[in-house]
Amino acid sequence: MQKTGQGNGAVVYVRVSTDEQANGPLNLQNQEQQCRDYCKRMGIHVAQVFVDPGESARSTDRPAFQQMLAYCKMNQRDIAFVVVQDLSRLARNLQDQGQTFYELNRIGILVRSVNESSIDESPEGKMQAGIFGTFNEYFSNALSKKMKERTIAAVSAGRFPWKAPIGYKNVGGNVGANIVPDPERASLIARAFELVGTGRYKKTEVLKIITDDGLKTTRGKALTPQTFQAVLGNALYAGWVTLPSDESFVPRRGLHTPIVSQELFDRVQEILSGKRPSAAPKRKFNPILPLKCLVKCEVCGTPLTGALCKGQRYGYYWCRRAGCRAVKLPKDKLEGEFVALLRKLRPNSAALSEFPMIAAKVWAEKQGDVEKQERKLKARLDEQRQLRRALRDAMLRGTITAEQFKEDDAEFGGEIAVTEQEMRALGSQRDTFDAFIRFAEIHLTDIARAWEIAAPEQRQRVQNLLFQDGLLYSPEQGILNHSNSSLFSMLEATRSKKRLLVSPMGFEPMLSP
């Protein structure tokens, strides 16, 4: 029932799930026009139209659908109706349909269907809505079963029965391959595999290179890091087709033309899995999601993972263990709770006075390690340069061909560049001891501020010093084991035992002064 004084406005919701629907009588324009015509006949003002193109109604997790519900709640005094062409546009799941009706009716908003005029608030109308909902769910399930059977048959025959991934294009026909390499993008995908396969580049660097070279999606957007990761792990590019929904399905050799060789694809998988050493320096954490792996699910103990969602506007952390997933919360909430925890941490003033003595020992040990590494790197660099000079001499004497020289010289050049980069990275750690002590005296008493202003990779060092064993997160209580601070525990232990501690991993200048 409508509430007294409620307006006579309506919102229109339209949806298609496939290209066939978008080009047929159920297209979005026809749906909207029929809904507008209905509102005009009934004397209802259309306040807003919400459109979900290419979204399945088997779930309510649709962008425009959720926006429509939010809009109705915010404007419930002005909106009296939600108008759809038929109930299958609203939901193809009886439970979702009932929940949607309930949420809207609770704020005085009624659902009206252009093609199902018998639906109203009478007992008969409610029964009709249930019958239509049951039929829509049955139709969806039957169609899903039929499509699954067709998909298994197509994949078993070596075809790819979905929209082609970037680098390929769909082609018509019921015989032979139904995807072919995209002339605009296939070469860039191949180049990406080749660059990663050298082991000299990080994935982020390769993604930037191929993006700068012009790789874009069919909608003209750059690939996200998550999409690029999926590309590198997709065996389709090496000529295979699989059935992701069935883990027991044995991959088939596809009818399509591979973009990369099997040898290159396997090499890339080894590098990505860490089985093959990569010459590129590895980043062990995502600077945009610094608390990944540090914070663990209190229910199962699994470290939280995270990602940027909805076009990289909103970040989330969640438990990655299948069957648990007890923890899921926004990035801002978890990091806000973490900073609040840091603000509560204060070292004992007496223990803090012992810090310079600890730092002196640690500094000496670390600098000794750095010098030892520098000597090894310098020896390696000298050897590589000598071998490169010998290679040039061999080419000038005619011992090797120009083609062989070019290939080997490029390899030596890459190895030298990587070694020089490692030496520069070690050199950047050489801050003065006095500057580090001044920094520590300021920031150990305000560790929250130290973490907030830290550079991305330096944040990890702060975290490891404070919470060597990580933190647990409870869905009900938030961050647990607040007192588990490795750094402050070490300071207290130093005072009580009157001895210097062994340096923990990562105990080095955390920030530039």
- What are the chain's domains? 9-141 (3.40.50.1390), 168-273 (3.90.1750.20), 295-344 (no CATH)
pLDDT: which is higher, 90 or 408: 90
Please state, as a whole number, how many other Cβ atoms lie within 10 Å of the Cβ of residue 15. 25
The yes-or-no verdict on residue 509 having pLDDT over 50 is no
Provide the pLDDT for residue 188. 94
Provide the pLDDT for residue 74. 92
Provide the pLDDT for residue 211. 92
Contacts of 467 (CB under 8 A, 6+ apart): 294, 484, 485, 486
What tens digit of pLDDT does each residue of 26-39 get? 688 889 999 999 99
The yes-or-no verdict on residue 114 having pLDDT over 90 is yes
Provide the pLDDT for residue 168. 94
Task: Put residue 457 in one of left, alpha, beta given phi > 0 → left and psi -120 to 50 → alpha.
Answer: alpha
What tens digit of pLDDT does each residue of 452-480 get? 777 666 677 677 767 777 889 998 888 88
Q: What is the mean pLDDT of residues 280-288?
A: 58
Tell me which residue of 287, 301, 124 sits closest to 202, measured CA to CA.
287
Lowest mean pLDDT among 12-21, 40-49, 368-377: 368-377
CB 251 within 8 A of CB 234: no
Provide the pLDDT for residue 19. 62
Q: Which of 40-44, 347-351, 434-438 has the highest mean pLDDT?
A: 40-44
CB 335 within 8 A of CB 291: yes
The yes-or-no verdict on residue 266 having pLDDT over 50 is yes
Confidence of residue 391 (pLDDT cuts 50, 70, 90): confident
Provide the pLDDT for residue 311. 54
Confidence of residue 242 (pLDDT cuts 50, 70, 90): confident
d(CA 32, CA 50): 9
What tens digit of pLDDT does each residue of 395-441 get? 777 777 877 777 777 777 767 776 776 676 656 555 445 555 555 55
pLDDT > 90: percent of the chain: 25
Handedness of CA 237, 241, 244, 247 (dihedral sign): negative
Confidence of residue 240 (pLDDT cuts 50, 70, 90): very high
Provide the pLDDT for residue 443. 57
CB 166 within 8 A of CB 236: no
Q: What is the mean pLDDT of residues 301-311?
A: 78
pLDDT: which is higher, 413 or 360: 413
User: Cα torsion for 31, 35, 37, 38, to the nearest 10°?
Assistant: 140
Mean pLDDT of the chain: 79
CB 50 within 8 A of CB 12: yes
The yes-or-no verdict on residue 190 having pLDDT over 90 is yes
Contacts of 150 (CB under 8 A, 6+ apart): 161
Beta partners for 179? 170
Provide the pLDDT for residue 39. 95
Provide the pLDDT for residue 488. 56
d(CA 91, CA 215): 37
Lowest mean pLDDT among 189-193, 194-198, 304-308, 482-486: 482-486
Provide the pLDDT for residue 36. 94
d(CA 8, CA 394): 88
Q: Residues, the chain, total?
A: 513
The yes-or-no verdict on residue 492 having pLDDT over 60 is no
Q: What is the mean pLDDT of residues 227-243?
A: 91
Q: In sequence order, what DSSP letters do the residues of 157-179 get, joined into one string?
A: TT---SPPPTTEEE---SSS-SE
Provide the pLDDT for residue 502. 38
The yes-or-no verdict on residue 513 having pLDDT over 50 is no
Which of helix, strand or coil describes residue 30? helix
Which residue stretches of 157-247 are H helix?
186-197, 203-212, 225-232
Confidence of residue 501 (pLDDT cuts 50, 70, 90): very low
Provide the pLDDT for residue 85. 92
Long-range contacts of 332-335 (CB under 8 A, 24+ apart): 334/291, 334/295, 334/304, 334/473, 335/290, 335/291
The yes-or-no verdict on residue 125 having pLDDT over 70 is yes
